[in-house]
């Protein structure tokens, strides 16, 4: 019988560990956190030094009971992850299982290997309460912000919104970038390119300067007609490229996005599986250093497979001075395993980690860069051709994102070249780039906001809560004039350039812009980049035992709570950002674009005038509160539009609602997508009504006088009384069930639990 109980967070981790520990060790999983602040209520005793009131989460009560039973008369080893979150899980286990945190064995390891586990068992420690306090500080502070600030947003902006200390800053970063893009004024310049030939070998070159006008572009090409081109200068210089440091959490997320197309969340899920199966080291880290063992095994692999010239031992210095989440970069546990993973995603990510870690210990890549200047006898225009030759691949034999070398033909100064063609094309200056998930992670890291364990959940939650959407922008086709010089003939070309297109970028929703503006104005510290970074630094001080966690919370809460109190006097009208578009030409009523309960909308009439009726309309598709025009708004107030009557003499009205265009007959609403409610005809509406009636007829199997119905549903026939539903057994014919039998089936059916929205 086992004398020891090892508790880890996940079943996968438990399975891997069980391979390395003998029969004296029983391995159990806590399935993550077992205790937390209950979702209902604040559960932080503000008056009692911000004491958190924890409870075993409902879904973990059975787990805790099983762990208590397993721990009886055994030596307990807590083997959760080595970061703050893992330390907190271990501490909560001691509290729930009645263990003494000062006596219980706490073991940590950066990789799940036999060597690492044996070393951990030999050198146990007790729970690091400083790390626990740092995690508690984050949890309590985030609960205070969410619990007190979210209701403010409900009252002032829209019900159901949530605020968070890190998520609100992340949203602001995206919103601020979108404002930069909106305010950006693109400028057009002309880029002149050319194709030259030397002894029938063609190569590309480009004019060394951009031209500021269409006339100048045309004039420049005109001057090249009949010109003789020669090489005025050749510069060759050796260069080199150095390998990058092995992955941290942030750089792994960025590179997996760029190379593999993985989302940040997807990267962390796949990396977690690789770690728990013992294939890579711990994946939540901001360190770039490698262990002595890793350095040695990498050296052996490189020399054996590539040769001594390819090896160059390096220990990268971690840029982040507060790095503390782990002691080593992300790497394979064994460099000899060139491939690993249980599915395609794991295999791809493992390969990326293996390549990056191994290449970090390889020599520089040597290249030779060549720049050729090309002059002519008709003008002062100088073209430049660039080429590069890889002389020695070094680390690039393993890890590179570059394409083929641009190799120029053999040339000497003074050689005459043939111009095949030259083209002057319009180039539009680009606005600052929108954030992708990966570049947002990079920005958060640069600002010092969050830590390795928070990047993925932060980016996930701002999308789930509707502040940011990941999507594409089509851009606008802009007509331009280009010039093509070929065989000494100049041709003018009309072309179209797509300006403003973007793919797979983080786009703020209208509610994100409104919420951010509100927080910046009334809660500036919450979304202040420097302030948020300083809070993270305070957590680091707590983790290092240099500050009490309750002091860090008290310092923050004092000013924050005052802002919450002061916000009570803010009017909803003031927050809604109503923009006066103009006045209705007939009734002279003002028309506003504003934010309402369900999002951006149009309002006709002034809310301040209680004697006049106010009417509302949705924004036209594709327009925003900032760019909708009066003409576009007037069309929307033509709805609802009466099309005619049904055979029962009921009005048929066309309109647009929250879920798109529809027609209404009494209390019945029928979607008419993709038809336009401004243009739909009575005949088209009657067709939609007939389709709806046919579907309803198919849906209704039996309708009893008591109101009980037998209906066809998406998962088969069922019985309902409007409040409760009951499935029908496959052996029964729904058409033959009597009313009495239907009542009995309903009574025996279990009552479905009501969904309760989690309160902050």
User: How far apart, in whole angstroms, are the C-alpha atoms of residue 157 and residue 366?
Assistant: 58
User: How far apart, in whole angstroms, are the C-alpha atoms of residue 101 and residue 104?
Assistant: 5
467 is known as an active-site residue: no
Exposure string of 384-398, with b = 16+ CB inside 10 Å and e = fewer, is ebebbebeebbbbbb
Beta bridge partners of 473: 502
CB 550 within 8 A of CB 556: no
Q: What element of type H or E holds 417?
A: strand 416-428
Burial of 336 (0-12, 13-18, 19+ CB in 10 A): exposed
User: How far apart, in whole angstroms, are the C-alpha atoms of residue 578 and residue 618?
Assistant: 14
Helices and strands (H and E) in the chain: how many: 20, 30
Q: What is the DSSP string of 645-668?
A: E-TTS-EEEEEEETTEEEEEETTE
Q: What element of type H or E holds 239?
A: strand 229-241
Two tokens, residue 612? 């006049």
CB 118 within 8 A of CB 22: no
Beta bridge partners of 502: 473
CB 370 within 8 A of CB 231: no
Secondary structure percentages of the chain, helix, strand, coil, to 5: 35, 25, 40
Strand 502-508 and strand 468-473: the pairing is antiparallel
Q: Which residues contact 253 (CB under 8 A, 6 or more apart)?
A: 264, 267, 268, 437, 438, 441, 455, 456
Q: Phi/psi class of residue 590: alpha, beta or left (left: φ > 0; alpha: ψ in -120 to 50)?
A: beta
Tell me if the bond preceding 674 is cis, omega within 30° of 0. Answer: yes
Considering only CA atoms, which of 87, 169, 96 is closest in space to residue 136? 87
Which candidate in 25, 147, 275, 282 is catalytic? 282
User: How far apart, in whole angstroms, are the C-alpha atoms of residue 235 and residue 386?
Assistant: 10
CB 145 within 8 A of CB 526: yes
CB 438 within 8 A of CB 257: yes
In total, the chain counts a number of residues equal to 760
User: How far apart, in whole angstroms, are the C-alpha atoms of residue 311 and residue 362?
Assistant: 4
Residue 487's alpha-carbon distances to 422, 484, 608, 727, in angstroms, are 10, 10, 72, 79
CB 94 within 8 A of CB 127: yes
Considering only CA atoms, which of 270, 456, 454, 467 is closest in space to residue 353? 270
Two tokens, residue 579? 């923009």
Q: Give the residue numbers annotated as catalytic, written as ranges.
A: 282
């Amino acid at each position: 019988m086992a004398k020891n109980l090892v508790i880890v967070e996940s079943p996968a981790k438990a399975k891997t560990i069980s391979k390395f520990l003998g029969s004296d060790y029983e391995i159990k999983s806590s399935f993550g956190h077992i205790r937390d602040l209950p979702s209902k209520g604040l559960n932080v005793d503000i008056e009692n030094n911000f004491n958190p009131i924890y409870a075993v989460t409902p879904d973990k009560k059975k787990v805790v009971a099983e762990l208590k039973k397993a721990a009886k008369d055994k030596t307990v080893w807590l083997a959760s992850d080595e970061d703050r979150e893992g330390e907190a899980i271990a501490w909560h286990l001691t509290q729930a299982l009645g263990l003494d945190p000062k006596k219980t064995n706490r073991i940590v390891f950066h990789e799940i290997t036999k060597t690492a586990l044996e070393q951990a068992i030999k050198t146990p420690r007790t729970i690091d309460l400083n790390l626990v306090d740092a995690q508690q500080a984050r949890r309590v502070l985030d609960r205070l912000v969410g619990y007190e600030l979210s209701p403010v947003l409900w009252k002032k902006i829209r019900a159901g919104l949530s605020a968070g200390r890190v998520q609100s800053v992340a949203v602001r970063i995206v919103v601020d970038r979108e404002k930069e893009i909106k305010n950006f004024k693109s400028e057009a310049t002309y880029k002149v390119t050319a194709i030259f030939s030397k002894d029938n070998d063609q190569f590309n070159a480009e004019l060394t300067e951009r031209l500021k006008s269409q006339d100048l572009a045309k004039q420049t090409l005109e001057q090249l007609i009949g010109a003789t081109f020669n090489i005025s200068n050749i510069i060759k210089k050796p260069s080199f490229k150095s390998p990058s440091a092995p992955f941290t959490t942030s750089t792994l997320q960025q590179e997996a996005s760029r190379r593999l197309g993985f989302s940040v969340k997807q990267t962390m899920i796949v990396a977690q599986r690789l770690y728990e199966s013992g294939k890579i080291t711990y994946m939540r880290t901001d360190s770039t250093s490698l262990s002595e063992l890793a350095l040695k095994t990498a050296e052996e692999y490189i020399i054996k497979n590539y040769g001594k010239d390819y090896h160059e031992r390096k220990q990268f210095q971690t840029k982040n001075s507060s790095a503390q989440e782990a002691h080593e970069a992300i790497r394979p546990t064994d460099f000899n395993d060139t491939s690993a993973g249980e599915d395609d995603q794991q295999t791809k990510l493992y390969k990326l980690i293996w390549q990056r870690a191994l290449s970090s210990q390889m020599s520089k890549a040597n290249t030779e860069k060549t720049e050729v200047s090309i002059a002519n006898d008709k003008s002062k225009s100088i073209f430049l051709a660039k080429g590069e030759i890889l002389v020695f691949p070094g680390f690039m034999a393993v890890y590179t994102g570059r394409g083929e070398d641009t190799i120029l033909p053999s040339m000497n100064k003074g050689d005459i070249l043939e111009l095949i063609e030259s083209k002057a094309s319009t180039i539009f200056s680009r606005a600052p780039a929108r954030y992708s998930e990966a570049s947002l992670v990079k920005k958060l890291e640069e600002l010092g906001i969050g830590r390795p364990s928070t990047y993925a959940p932060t980016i996930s939650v701002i999308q789930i809560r509707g502040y940011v959407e990941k999507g594409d922008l089509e851009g606008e086709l802009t007509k331009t004039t280009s010039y093509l010089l070929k065989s000494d003939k100049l041709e003018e070309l009309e072309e179209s350039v797509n300006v403003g297109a973007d793919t797979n970028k983080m786009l703020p929703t209208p509610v994100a812009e409104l919420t951010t503006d509100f927080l910046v104005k009334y809660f500036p510290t919450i979304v202040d980049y420097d302030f948020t970074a300083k809070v993270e630094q305070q957590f680091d001080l707590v983790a290092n035992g240099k500050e009490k966690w309750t002091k860090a919370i008290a310092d923050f809460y004092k000013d924050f709570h005052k802002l919450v109190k002061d916000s009570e006097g803010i009017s909803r009208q003031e927050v809604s950002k109503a923009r006066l578009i103009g006045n209705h030409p007939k009734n002279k009523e003002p028309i506003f674009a504003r934010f309402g309960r369900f999002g951006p909308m149009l309002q006709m009439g002034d809310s301040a005038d209680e004697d006049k009726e106010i009417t509302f309309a949705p924004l036209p598709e594709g327009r925003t509160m900032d760019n909708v025009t009066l003409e576009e708004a007037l069309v929307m107030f033509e709805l609802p539009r009466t099309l005619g009557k049904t055979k029962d003499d009921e009005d048929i009205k066309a309109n647009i609602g929250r879920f798109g265009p529809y027609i209404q007959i009494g209390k019945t609403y029928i979607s008419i997508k993709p038809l336009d409610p401004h243009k739909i005809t009575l005949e088209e509406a009657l067709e939609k009504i007939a389709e709806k009636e046919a579907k309803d007829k198919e849906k209704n199997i039996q309708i009893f006088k008591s109101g009980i119905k037998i209906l066809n549903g998406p998962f088969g026939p069922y019985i309902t009384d409007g409040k409760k539903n009951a499935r029908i057994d496959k052996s029964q014919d729904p058409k033959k069930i009597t009313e009495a039998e239907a009542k009995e089936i309903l009574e025996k059916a279990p009552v479905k639990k009501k969904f309760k929205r989690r309160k902050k």
